[in-house]
Amino acid sequence: MFIKNGKAIQKQTNESMSGKLSIITGATSGVGLSTAKILAAAKSNLVLVCRNPSKAVPIQESLSTTYGVSVDIVVADFSRFDDVRKAAQTIIAKYPKIDVLINSVGIHSTRKLFNENGIELCFVVNHLSTFLFTKLLLPKMIQEGPSRIIQVNSEGHRFSGVRLKDINFKRRIYTGLKGYGQSKTAQLLTTLELSDQLKDTAVTINCCHPGAVKTAIGSNNGWLYRFFFKHVTSHFLKDPIISGQAIYYLSAAPELHGISGKFFNLTIDEKPAKHANDREISKKVYELSMNMVGLQDAK
Q: Is 219 helix (H, G, I), strand (E, B) or coil?
A: coil
- pLDDT higher than 50, residue 271: yes
Under the banding of pLDDT at 50, 70 and 90, the label for residue 153 is very high
Q: Is 73 helix (H, G, I), strand (E, B) or coil?
A: strand
pLDDT digits (tens, 9 = 90+) for 186-241: 999 999 999 999 999 999 999 999 985 445 544 444 434 333 334 333 333 445 68
DSSP result, 149-189: EEEE--GGGGG----TT-TT-SSS---HHHHHHHHHHHHHH
CA 141 to chain centre: 17
Cβ atoms 44, 69 nearer than 8 A: yes
**Average pLDDT for the chain:** 90
276-292: average pLDDT: 98
CATH superfamily, domain 2-6+17-291, is: NAD(P)-binding Rossmann-like Domain (3.40.50.720)
pLDDT at 299: 55
Domain ranges of the chain: 2-6+17-291
pLDDT, position 63: 98
Q: Note the pLDDT tens digit of each residue in 81-129.
A: 999 999 999 999 999 999 999 999 999 999 999 999 999 999 999 999 9
More confident call, 6 vs 278: 278
* DSSP one-letter string for 220-286: TS-HHHHHHHHHTGGGGPBPTHHHHHHHHHHHH-GGGTT--S-EEETTEE----GGGS-HHHHHHHH
204 within 8 A of 258, measured Cβ to Cβ: yes
**pLDDT of res. 231:** 33
| pLDDT surpasses 80 at 178 | yes
Angstrom distances, CA of residue 243 to CA of 108, 212, 223: 18, 9, 27
Q: pLDDT over 70 for what percent of the chain?
A: 89
What is the spatial order of strands in the sheet that 45-50 belongs to?
Answer: 71-75, 45-50, 21-25, 100-103, 147-152, 203-209, 263-265, 268-269
Q: What is the pTM of this model?
A: 0.90
pLDDT at 228: 36
Given this model, what pLDDT does residue 239 score?
56
pLDDT digit string, tens, across residues 254-269: 999 999 999 999 999 9
Amino acid at 282: S
Q: Would you say residue 151 has pLDDT above 80?
A: yes
Cβ atoms within 10 Å, residue 216: 16
pLDDT of residue 6: 74
pLDDT given for residue 240 in this prediction: 60
User: Is residue 292 over pLDDT 70?
Assistant: yes
What pLDDT digit, counting tens, does each position of 37-75 carry? Answer: 999 999 999 999 999 999 999 999 999 999 999 999 999
Position 212 scores a pLDDT of: 53
Binned at pLDDT 50, 70 and 90, residue 8 comes out as confident
